[in-house]
Structure 1
C-alpha cells in the first residue's frame, strides 16, 4: 500500500498545536519549579544541557527552541516538583507497588535518599551513603567475579561511563552489557561487518544536501521529532521521502512546524512521505531486494541500449566486493516471491525504486523496526546493499543513518562499555592503570538473562535504566532477579526494576543532567555522543532535587573504592573532584576520537570524532565495503501458520523507552489506555472477533513455555494483514529470550509469533 494521506487514526499532523497541548499537559502533571523554561531554552545548545531523551544531533546553527515534544516531556519529568522520599515507604510495601502501573510509579517523583531494602517489613528504608557503599563492596568482594554484571542504560555521560567500564575490568570481568543490546546492537554488529563502522556514516551537512531519504522502520514523529525540521527543509527544496513501515506513523505523513508562526497560524501541513509502503512485519528484506531489482533491471537496460549506467560502476569496482553473487540472486528472484514476502505490490516497489534511481544522493534511515528481528543484521546489510549500488555511502548528501534511541547509548560503547574484548584497547588500559584487564569476553543481556534464570548470575549493578521491565521473558526474569545476592540500581525515579529486590538491595538516587553537579573543584560538566558521532558537553544549573543526591560518576567511584583493591593509579577521589581529568584519560585511551577533548567540549554542534566509512575507508575483513547475498527473503525465525500473527511491540506518543508519561497516543487515536491489541479490519473479521472485545495474546514461540498478556481490547488499526501491534514494555512478556537476532542477540521484538485467545 502506498500514498496513505492522511493517517485515518490520527487526530492531526505531527508537531503543531497537538504537540504544544501535550507538553502543556505534562507541565501540569509534573508542576516543575520556577526556572524550567530557562532549562528548556538552554537545551541542546552550546554551554547548555543535551537532551536526556533521544540521541538526535544538535545543529551548530540552532533554533530559538531546540527541543521537541518528547524532549520537553523528558525535561519536565526530570524537573518535576514531586518527591519520592523515605516517608513514601511508610505507606507502601514493595508487594503492593508491584500492582501499580508504570505511569503511577513515574508520578511518585524524584528519589531523594539512598535506600536499602528491608525484607522484614517489605519496604525500602533510608540508609547512609557510607553504609550503602560498604555493604555493596563487602558483597561484591565475596562473589565469583564472573557472576556479577555491570549494566548501563544510555543515560550516563561519557565520563561516568568510562569509569564504570574501568570499575568492571578492575573488578575482574567484562560483563558490561548495555541498553543497545536490546535495540541497536544489530547496527553495531551488522554495519561493522559490511562497512567496517559500527555506527551511521552521515553528518548534519549531509541532511541538507540529500536528494532523497529512504526510511525503514523508524518513527521520527514520536522517537526523534527534531528530525522533522530537516525533513521539512528537504521537502521545500524538492527532495523525495520514501517510507517502508508496517504502521502509518504520523511523523512521516504530515508535519506542522511549531517554530513557524505562519504554519501554526494557518495550520499549513508539510506532506512528508512521497511514497508510504506498508511492508509486512519482517518483510523488509524482500522489499529492499525489490528496490535493488528495479535498479539492476534499469542498469541492464542501460547496458543494452548503450546509455549511461545506473550502477555506480567506478565506486563498486574500487570500493566493494560481492556484487556478482548478489546480482545473480536479485535477477533470479521473481516478483511474485517479492510480493508474497513483502506484502507489497510490484507497482508500489517500482515507484519507490524509480525515486531511488532518479536521486543522485540518498540517505538510508532506519530504526528498531529493522534491527529487532531474528534476521535484523541481514536487514541492515540489505539497506547497505541498496546504498552501495549507486555509491551512496561516503559522499556528500548520502549515507547510512541509524537513529539511536537514548541520549548517550552510542557514546557509552565508544568509551569502553562493551562485553567484547576485541573492541577495547586493553594494552592502553594496562599501561594507564597498571593492572591486567580480564581477557575473556563478557556477557550480553540475552546471556545475562539466561545466567539469571540458571542461577549463575549473583549480582546486577545497574547504572540507570529499568532493565527488569525492558527485557524479554519478564515474568521469569522477575523471579530470578529477586534471587540474586545483590541488586543495585542507580536511578532518578522509582520503576519496576526496584520492586524485585535481591537478598541485599539498594536504590542509589543520582543527579539529573539538568542539575548542578558541584564537586571539590567546582561545578562539573558531562558529555554525550549523538547518532552522528558528535560529542557535546552539558552543564547543569538547576537546584538538585535533594541535598542527598550524588552524581553518577561519584556513585561509580565510591562503588569502585569499596569493591576494587587499592591501586595508586586508580585515583577515584581525584576523578570525582575534577571530571576534566577523566576526559584527559579518555583522550589518552582513544586519542583518534577525542583529540583536544576538554578544549572542544562546548563546540557548537559538538565535535566530530570521525568515522572511517564516512571517508570511504572500510575497516572490514576485506578492506572493502561488502555486498551481502541473503539466504532468505524475510527476517523471521518462524513460519506463518493458521492463527499465528506477527506481533510488533510499539511505543506510544506518550512514552520514552519504558517511561510512561501518560495515556494519550494521539497519533494512533488511542486515549486513556494502553491495554489494546491493534489489528486490521480484515484480521478482526477473519478471526471472528469484534472491535472492543477483550482477548489474551499468547506467545507462539516453540519452546514449550506459556507466555500470555491478558485484558487487551481489540482495536481496529491500519496494519497489513497478519501484522498486529501491542505496547512495549507491557508486551515484553510475550517475547522469548531465545527469540533474537542471530548475530547480535538483539531481542526480535518487531515480529513476535503470537496467537489470540478469547
Structure 2
C-alpha cells in the first residue's frame, strides 16, 4: 500500500488547472503574438519545433499537446511582443540596471540589434554586424590563445555547436567549457568511470516496461513535467515509485493530467510516489547503501533457506568487477551509521529495499540533487551499484536515467564542445579542415572562473547563457568579469552578465529556435539531442523579432570568418547558407552516431545514436561495469558543526535555470518573492527565530572569505533538520568556486555550508 504523503505547502497537485494558470500568467506578461499558439501545437512533434527548455525525450506516439507548463512558458517568453531596441539605452545606464531583478531585465523583451558597450556613457550602442565581427576579431587576435574561453549554454543546436567547437580549435585551444560543467558533468565523468558511457542507458520503451522507479534528487514537476505522463501510465499498470529527496516536490507526490478531460473536470489525482523519503542533503550515499544492505541480507537469507537468489549472480559474475569488495563493505557498515548519515530509519530503507526486490525491472532516475555535491560522482556510482545488484542495467525496462536540464546540453558534448581532447576525433578534423588541432586539454568552468580571478583568462565568448549569474562566487565574479579584455554574449534578452561589461563588450542578438531562419537555401532546420540520446530536427515558423537578428550558426561563422585565416577547407559562407552541409561534416566526424543524418532529420521520436552500456558493452578500462566501494557515507566536503547548516539551492516552478518567469512558486506556497530561506520548525526554534524573521546567510566554507546574502525571510517548510533551502541563482553568492565535485568540478550547490545571522525580528514579533 502506498504511503499517504501530505505536502501542506503546495496549493494543489502538479499539472491540472494550476499548470494552465501558470501558462496564462506568462502569456499575460509577455503578450506573444497569437501565432505563438500555433508554435505550441507543433512543439516536440516530428517536423515541428523542439522545446528550448528541458531535454526530456519526444515520444513517437505524441499527445495532442506535447508541451508542459515550463516548456510553454519558455516558448511564450521567447516569442514575447516586447522589444529591447537600441533606444532602450537612451533612458538607462548599465550601472543603473544592476539594481534590477533578473525577471525585470528579461521582461524588457527581445534584443534586436548588435550592441557595443561605450564606457564613456555607460551605455550600449548599436553597431553593424560587420563592425562587431571585426572588433571581436581584432581583440581575439591580440591575445594569447590560451587566455580565451569559448563557453556555451545548452541552447544552440548541433550544427552551430559543431562549428563553434571547430572555431575554438582553429583559433588554437580546447577551452570549451559548457553548461553541463555546472550540472551534469558529474554524470559524464561518473558514469564513464563505472559503465563506460557518459550518458544514461534507458530509452523511451524502457519507461513502458519498468516495474519500479527509484528517484534520487530529481524534480519532474518543475524541471521535466512531461515525465509525469509516462509515470502516470506506469502507476496505472501497477509500477511502484520510491523517491529520495530532502524537500517535498509536488510533481512526485500527485499529478492531474491537463490532457485528460475527466481528470481536469473531476480533479482526479494520480499519486506518483508510493514512498517518499526526505533524506538529509548529502545523505544519499548512506540511503542507497542501506537499500543495498537490505537486498544483500535478504539474499543471504535466501541462500540459507535454499530459495531463489535475490541477486542477479549471473549478471554480476559475467558483467561486473569489484563486487566482493563492495559487498564486504556493505556488510561491515552498521545500520546505526546508515541511519545517522541518511537521516532515515532502518525500517524505511528496508521498505524501499522490498520494493526493489519485488520489481523485475527497475529504473534509477536522478538529477542535480545527486550531481551537485562534493562527492557527486560517488552518488552516481552508488545508483549504478544498486541497479547492478539485480542486473537492472543494459536490458529492457531497466537502467540508469539521469535527467538533463537543458534542451541540447547533452548534444553539444556529442558534437565536440568539450575541453577533454580524448573525446574529440582530432584525426577527422585534421583530414576535413587541413590543420593540426591543439592537443592540450582545455579548461572547465571552475578553472576558467579561477583564471578570471588570477588574470590568466582575458576573454570569454558565450554562446548563450547567463554565466555571471550561474556560477559560484558571484560577487567576485562580477569584478573579474568586468576586468576582461573582451566579453561577447550571444543572447536573446538582457541578463545580468551584460551589466558588468569587459573593456570591450558586445551583445550579439540571435534568433530563437521557434523563429524562421532564412539563409541562402531557404528556411533552415537545426537538431538537438535529448536525455535518451535521440536526435530530433526542429524548424521555426515564427517571424523573427527583428530583421537584424542572426542565427547562432551565422554568428559563429561570422566571428570565425573575421578572426581566422582563410582556407579553401573552411567554407563558412556555404555552411551558413545550408545547414545540411554542416550535418554532413558531423556525420563524417561521428559516423556511428550520425549515420544517414540528413535523411533521418524528422524521424518520429528522433533517431537513436546508440549507447554501448545499453547493449551491455562496457567501455571501461576493465571492460566490465564497476562496483564502487564508497570510502564515506555522505557526499560532503565538510563536517557537521554547531550552527552550521547544509544549504540546498532550489528552483521554483516559475523559472528555468537563471530565467525567472515570475514570483509564484505554488508548489511551495511562496508568492511574490524569492528572498526566503526555508527551514524546518525544529531548526527555526533551535536558532531562536520565528517564522517571518529576517536573516542573513553567511558562507561557512573554510577559506577565509566572507560571502553573505542578506534580507531573507524565514519560512517554515518540511525539511530534514540541518538542511535548509534557498533559491538558485540568488544563493550562488554563498558558494565558493572551490566547493565542487572532486572528479568533474561541478559546483556543489546542493549542500553549501552556511550559518545564520539574525537581521532583526519581524514586525509581528517586535509587536
Q: What is the deviation of 1:4?
A: 5.3
CA distance in 2 between partners of 1:84 and 1:510 (Å): 13
Answer whether contact 1:55 1:403 (CA < 8 A) is retained.
yes
Deviation digits for residues 360-381 of structure 1 (CA, Å, limit 9, x no counterpart): 0000000000000000000000
CA distance in 2 between partners of 1:284 and 1:563 (Å): 48
CA distance in 2 between partners of 1:198 and 1:295 (Å): 27
Residue 420 in 1 paired to residue 438 in 2? no
CA distance in 1 between partners of 2:539 and 2:508 (Å): 22
In structure 2, the partner of 1:230 is 230
CA distance in 2 between partners of 1:484 and 1:704 (Å): 25
In structure 1, the partner of 2:88 is 88
In structure 1, the partner of 2:468 is 468
5+ residue gaps, structure 1, are: none
In structure 2, the partner of 1:495 is 495
In structure 1, the partner of 2:610 is 610
TM-score by length of 1: 1.00
Deviation digits for residues 353-402 of structure 1 (CA, Å, limit 9, x no counterpart): 00000000000000000000000000000000000000000000000000
Q: What is the deviation of 1:189?
A: 0.1
Residue 209 in 1 paired to residue 209 in 2? yes
Q: What is the deviation of 1:296?
A: 0.3
Residue 49 in 1 paired to residue 49 in 2? yes
Q: What is the deviation of 1:565?
A: 1.4
Q: What is the deviation of 1:73?
A: 0.2
Residue 358 in 1 paired to residue 358 in 2? yes
Answer whether contact 2:44 2:66 (CA < 8 A) is retained.
yes
Q: How does 1:260-659 map to 2 (within 5 A)?
A: 260-659=260-659
Aligned length, in residue pairs: 757
Deviation digits for residues 463-483 of structure 1 (CA, Å, limit 9, x no counterpart): 000000000000001100000
In structure 2, the partner of 1:240 is 240
The verdict on how the C-alpha distance between 1:4 and 1:730 changes in structure 2, with shifts beyond 3 A counting, is: farther
Answer whether contact 1:4 1:276 (CA < 8 A) is retained.
no
Q: What SS is found at the alignment partner of 2:75?
A: helix
Answer whether contact 2:5 2:276 (CA < 8 A) is retained.
no
CA distance in 1 between partners of 2:569 and 2:141 (Å): 20
Q: What SS is found at the alignment partner of 1:356?
A: helix
In structure 1, the partner of 2:761 is none
Q: What SS is found at the alignment partner of 1:133?
A: helix
Q: What SS is found at the alignment partner of 1:668?
A: coil
Answer whether contact 1:137 1:562 (CA < 8 A) is retained.
yes
Q: What SS is found at the alignment partner of 1:646?
A: strand
CA distance in 1 between partners of 2:337 and 2:275 (Å): 22
Q: What is the deviation of 1:564?
A: 1.2
Q: What is the deviation of 1:6?
A: 2.5
CA distance in 1 between partners of 2:509 and 2:34 (Å): 22
Residue 116 in 1 paired to residue 116 in 2? yes
CA distance in 2 between partners of 1:346 and 1:289 (Å): 11
CA distance in 2 between partners of 1:213 and 1:562 (Å): 51
In structure 2, the partner of 1:682 is 682
CA distance in 2 between partners of 1:561 and 1:113 (Å): 20
Q: What SS is found at the alignment partner of 1:569?
A: coil
TM-score by length of 2: 0.98
CA distance in 2 between partners of 1:428 and 1:23 (Å): 46
Deviation digits for residues 281-322 of structure 1 (CA, Å, limit 9, x no counterpart): 000000000000011001100111111000000000110000
Q: What is the deviation of 1:566?
A: 1.2
Answer whether contact 1:648 1:750 (CA < 8 A) is retained.
yes
In structure 2, the partner of 1:26 is 26
In structure 1, the partner of 2:8 is 8
CA distance in 2 between partners of 1:549 and 1:699 (Å): 42
CA distance in 2 between partners of 1:306 and 1:259 (Å): 50
In structure 1, the partner of 2:135 is 135
CA distance in 1 between partners of 2:575 and 2:129 (Å): 19
Q: What SS is found at the alignment partner of 1:355?
A: helix
In structure 2, the partner of 1:259 is 259
Q: What SS is found at the alignment partner of 1:251?
A: helix
5+ residue gaps, structure 2, are: 759-767
CA distance in 2 between partners of 1:190 and 1:219 (Å): 21
In structure 1, the partner of 2:765 is none
CA distance in 1 between partners of 2:102 and 2:693 (Å): 24
In structure 1, the partner of 2:726 is 726
CA distance in 1 between partners of 2:4 and 2:327 (Å): 32
CA distance in 1 between partners of 2:565 and 2:500 (Å): 30
Answer whether contact 1:663 1:671 (CA < 8 A) is retained.
yes
Q: What is the deviation of 1:567?
A: 1.4
